Amino acid sequence: MPRPHFDRRQREPQTRINHRIRADPVRVIGSDGSMLGVLSNREAIRVAQEQGLDLVEVNPKAEPPVCKIMDFGKFKYEEKKRASEAKRKQTTVELKEVKLRPKTDDHDLNFKLRAARRFVETGNKVKFVVRFRGREIAHPEKAQSQLVWLLEHLEDIANADSRPSMEGRTMTVLVSPKPQVLQAISAAKAAEAERKRKAAKAARAAEIARGEAPPGSEDDIDETEDDIDDEEEEFDEDGDALHEPDDDDDEDDDAEEGEAAEAAEAAEPAKEGEEGEKA
C-alpha cells in the first residue's frame, strides 16, 4: 500500500515561543518596547518568566533573531481579530455572464442592462456575450452596436476592460466596477459589521443584567462577534437565467431533436438485420 504523500508546504509557519526557540543568543525587546540587548536564550526566557509573560520569536531571519517579551495568548487573539476585520472589509469580485442575441429587442436589452447594473453595483465583473446563429455572423455590426449601447449606459459605474471583440461565433466585452463602487461596498460592509458588533454587545449586556449570562469582559463579547458572518446578496451565476430564448431558438432545437430521432429510427432496422445474420 503506497504511503500517503505529505506536503510540507501545506503547513503554516509556527511561531516559536519560550523553550521552542532554538536560536542562541537572541536580541530581546521588552514588554514595554524597550531594547534589552542581546541575551542568551536561557537568560531571555528567565526574564520573561519573571514577568509572567512569554518569550516570542518575532523575526527569526534577523542576525541574531529578534524575540519579544509578551503575553502570547493575547497576541494570538489580537492577530485573529485583525485577520477577521480584514476579511470583513475585503470585497470578492466574481465574473457574471449576460447573454444576448443580435436580434434581442429593446425591452429585453433594457432587462439585461438592469441585471448588469445590479451585478456591477455588488462589486462583480460582467461579461457580455452575443451569440451568432447561422447567417447572423455576416452582420456583426448589429451586435457591436448593442455592446456599445450597454457600455455607454454603464460608464458611470463600470470601466470597459477591452473593446468588443470576436471569439469564434460570439462577440464579447468585459466590464469591471469602478474603484469608487468597490470603496462604497467596503464602507457598507464595515458599517454593517459595526452595527452587528454593537447589537451583539447590547444583547450580551442585557443577558448579564437579567442574570442569564455570567459577567464577561468586552474581549469575550468580541470573540463571539468573530463568528458572525456578513450576509451577502447572491445572484444566479447561470447566464441562461438572464437569456430569454426566442421562438427561433425553440424551432432550431426542435429541428435538431427531430433529426436525431429520425437517425435513431433509421439505425434500428440495420441493427436488427445484423443481429439476424449473427443468429
Instruction: At 203, list the grid cell.
Output: 444583547
Given the C-alpha cell 465574473, which residue does it identify?
Answer: 95
Residue 171 CB-density burial (10 A; 0-12 exposed, 13-18 middle, 19+ buried): buried
The three-class DSSP label of residue 159 is: strand
Contact between 28 and 37 under an 8 Å Cβ cutoff? The reply is yes
CA angle 237, 238, 240 (to 5 degrees): 145
pLDDT of residue 116: 92
Specify whether the CB–CB gap between 126 and 116 falls below 8 A: yes
84-244 classified as CATH 3.30.110.10: yes
Q: What is the pLDDT of residue 79?
A: 84
Which three three-digit cell numbers place residue 16?
Answer: 516559536
pLDDT of residue 9: 52
Residue type, 182: L
CA torsion sign, 12 to 17 to 23 to 26? positive
CB atoms within 10 A of CB 57: 20
| C-beta separation of 99 from 129 below 8 A | yes
User: Mean pLDDT per 10-residue run, the chain (279 residues)?
Assistant: 55 75 87 87 88 88 89 86 74 82 90 92 91 89 91 91 88 91 85 86 82 58 48 39 43 46 48 47
Characterize the bridge pairing of strands 66-70 and 26-29: parallel
The pLDDT, as a whole number, for residue 175 is 92
Task: Please tell me the predicted confidence (pLDDT) of residue 193.
Answer: 82
CA distance 196 to 85: 13
pLDDT given for residue 10 in this prediction: 52
pLDDT at 3: 62
DSSP 196-223: HHHHHHHHHHHHHHHTSS----HHHHHH
* Signed CA dihedral, 156, 161, 163, 169: sign only: negative
**Dihedral pair phi/psi, residue 215, rounded to 5°:** -60, 140
Asked if the bond preceding 164 is cis, omega within 30° of 0, the reply is no
CATH 3.10.20.80 for domain 22-72: yes
Q: Which phi and psi (to 5°) does residue 99 adopt? A: -100, 140
Specify the length of the chain in residues: 279
Domain boundaries, the chain: 22-72, 84-244
